[in-house]
Amino acid sequence: MAEGLKIEIVSPERLVLSEVVTSVTVPGTEGYFTVMNDHAPFMTTLKPGFITVSGQGGRDEIYFVRGGFADVSPDGLTILAEEASPYAEFDHAELAAEIKSAEEQLAQAQSFEDKSYAQDVVSGLLNLAIEAGQLNGAHVH
Protein backbone atom coordinates (compact mmCIF):
# COMPACT_ATOMS: atom_id res chain seq x y z
CA MET A 1 0.00 0.00 0.00
CA ALA A 2 1.17 3.55 -0.68
CA GLU A 3 2.51 5.60 2.21
CA GLY A 4 -0.48 7.01 4.08
CA LEU A 5 -3.94 5.82 5.03
CA LYS A 6 -6.51 4.82 2.41
CA ILE A 7 -9.94 6.16 3.40
CA GLU A 8 -13.33 5.63 1.82
CA ILE A 9 -16.50 7.30 3.05
CA VAL A 10 -19.55 5.63 1.56
CA SER A 11 -23.23 6.51 1.96
CA PRO A 12 -26.19 4.69 0.41
CA GLU A 13 -26.36 7.40 -2.26
CA ARG A 14 -22.71 7.78 -3.26
CA LEU A 15 -19.02 7.37 -2.67
CA VAL A 16 -18.25 10.59 -0.79
CA LEU A 17 -14.47 10.25 -0.54
CA SER A 18 -11.76 7.85 -1.68
CA GLU A 19 -8.15 8.91 -1.26
CA VAL A 20 -4.88 8.37 0.61
CA VAL A 21 -4.46 10.71 3.60
CA THR A 22 -2.28 11.26 6.66
CA SER A 23 -4.92 10.70 9.37
CA VAL A 24 -8.66 10.68 10.00
CA THR A 25 -10.55 11.63 13.18
CA VAL A 26 -13.92 9.85 13.45
CA PRO A 27 -16.98 10.25 15.76
CA GLY A 28 -17.26 6.79 17.33
CA THR A 29 -20.18 6.07 19.65
CA GLU A 30 -17.69 5.73 22.52
CA GLY A 31 -15.90 8.97 21.56
CA TYR A 32 -13.79 10.41 18.79
CA PHE A 33 -10.78 8.40 17.65
CA THR A 34 -7.96 9.03 15.18
CA VAL A 35 -6.71 6.52 12.62
CA MET A 36 -3.33 6.67 10.90
CA ASN A 37 -1.48 4.30 8.58
CA ASP A 38 -0.81 0.84 10.07
CA HIS A 39 -3.51 1.24 12.75
CA ALA A 40 -4.62 -1.96 14.49
CA PRO A 41 -7.74 -3.45 12.87
CA PHE A 42 -11.09 -2.90 14.56
CA MET A 43 -14.71 -2.10 13.81
CA THR A 44 -17.03 0.28 15.66
CA THR A 45 -20.30 2.12 15.32
CA LEU A 46 -20.51 5.85 14.65
CA LYS A 47 -22.59 8.61 16.18
CA PRO A 48 -23.69 11.63 14.16
CA GLY A 49 -20.74 13.99 13.93
CA PHE A 50 -17.91 15.30 11.84
CA ILE A 51 -14.97 13.44 10.34
CA THR A 52 -11.76 15.41 9.98
CA VAL A 53 -9.54 14.15 7.17
CA SER A 54 -5.93 15.38 7.28
CA GLY A 55 -4.61 15.26 3.74
CA GLN A 56 -1.05 14.51 2.80
CA GLY A 57 -0.63 18.08 1.55
CA GLY A 58 -1.34 19.42 5.04
CA ARG A 59 -4.93 20.51 4.36
CA ASP A 60 -7.86 19.28 6.43
CA GLU A 61 -11.30 18.48 5.03
CA ILE A 62 -14.43 17.93 7.10
CA TYR A 63 -17.31 15.55 6.37
CA PHE A 64 -20.60 15.05 8.16
CA VAL A 65 -21.83 11.52 8.98
CA ARG A 66 -25.10 10.47 10.53
CA GLY A 67 -24.33 7.15 12.15
CA GLY A 68 -22.98 4.00 10.55
CA PHE A 69 -19.86 1.88 10.94
CA ALA A 70 -16.10 2.40 10.76
CA ASP A 71 -13.93 -0.53 9.70
CA VAL A 72 -10.17 -0.25 10.15
CA SER A 73 -8.29 -3.00 8.31
CA PRO A 74 -4.82 -3.50 6.82
CA ASP A 75 -6.28 -1.97 3.63
CA GLY A 76 -7.26 1.28 5.38
CA LEU A 77 -10.37 2.88 6.86
CA THR A 78 -13.85 2.38 5.43
CA ILE A 79 -16.73 4.47 6.73
CA LEU A 80 -20.16 3.02 5.91
CA ALA A 81 -22.46 5.88 6.87
CA GLU A 82 -26.23 6.10 7.04
CA GLU A 83 -25.76 9.60 5.60
CA ALA A 84 -22.53 11.36 4.62
CA SER A 85 -21.60 14.61 2.91
CA PRO A 86 -18.86 17.23 2.79
CA TYR A 87 -19.30 19.86 5.51
CA ALA A 88 -20.15 22.46 2.85
CA GLU A 89 -23.36 20.50 2.19
CA PHE A 90 -24.33 20.26 5.89
CA ASP A 91 -27.81 21.75 6.37
CA HIS A 92 -27.95 23.80 9.59
CA ALA A 93 -31.62 24.66 9.03
CA GLU A 94 -32.53 20.98 8.78
CA LEU A 95 -30.71 20.30 12.05
CA ALA A 96 -32.61 23.16 13.74
CA ALA A 97 -35.89 21.62 12.55
CA GLU A 98 -34.82 18.20 13.88
CA ILE A 99 -34.03 19.75 17.27
CA LYS A 100 -37.44 21.45 17.41
CA SER A 101 -39.22 18.20 16.52
CA ALA A 102 -37.21 16.24 19.10
CA GLU A 103 -37.98 18.82 21.80
CA GLU A 104 -41.70 18.54 20.97
CA GLN A 105 -41.49 14.75 21.27
CA LEU A 106 -39.75 15.13 24.62
CA ALA A 107 -42.50 17.45 25.87
CA GLN A 108 -45.14 14.89 24.84
CA ALA A 109 -43.37 11.82 26.25
CA GLN A 110 -45.39 10.06 28.96
CA SER A 111 -43.37 7.16 30.34
CA PHE A 112 -39.96 7.39 31.98
CA GLU A 113 -38.47 5.27 29.16
CA ASP A 114 -39.95 7.52 26.46
CA LYS A 115 -38.75 10.66 28.27
CA SER A 116 -35.28 9.21 28.74
CA TYR A 117 -34.99 8.22 25.07
CA ALA A 118 -36.34 11.58 23.87
CA GLN A 119 -33.91 13.44 26.14
CA ASP A 120 -30.99 11.43 24.70
CA VAL A 121 -32.10 12.37 21.18
CA VAL A 122 -32.43 16.07 22.06
CA SER A 123 -29.04 16.07 23.82
CA GLY A 124 -27.33 14.38 20.86
CA LEU A 125 -28.82 16.86 18.38
CA LEU A 126 -27.89 19.86 20.56
CA ASN A 127 -24.32 18.57 20.88
CA LEU A 128 -24.17 18.15 17.11
CA ALA A 129 -25.41 21.74 16.64
CA ILE A 130 -22.75 23.06 19.04
CA GLU A 131 -20.04 21.13 17.25
CA ALA A 132 -21.26 22.29 13.82
CA GLY A 133 -21.27 25.88 15.04
CA GLN A 134 -17.65 25.66 16.12
CA LEU A 135 -16.31 24.55 12.75
CA ASN A 136 -14.38 27.27 10.95
CA GLY A 137 -12.33 25.34 8.43
CA ALA A 138 -10.47 23.49 11.18
CA HIS A 139 -11.66 20.81 13.52
CA VAL A 140 -10.02 19.92 16.79
CA HIS A 141 -11.13 17.02 19.02
**pLDDT for residue 140:** 42
- pLDDT value at position 32? 93
Own/partner long-range contacts of 27-33 (Cβ < 8 Å, ≥24 apart): 27/51, 27/65, 28/70, 32/141
Is residue 46 a contact partner of residue 70, using CB atoms and an 8 Å limit?
yes
pLDDT at 70: 96
Bridge partners for 51 per DSSP: 63
The pLDDT value given to residue 91: 83
For residue 22, count CB atoms less than 10 angstroms from its CB and return exposed for 0-12, middle for 13-18, buried for 19 or more: middle
Beta strands 42-46 and 5-10: pairing type?
A: unpaired
Those residues of the chain that have pLDDT short of 50 are: 1, 137-141
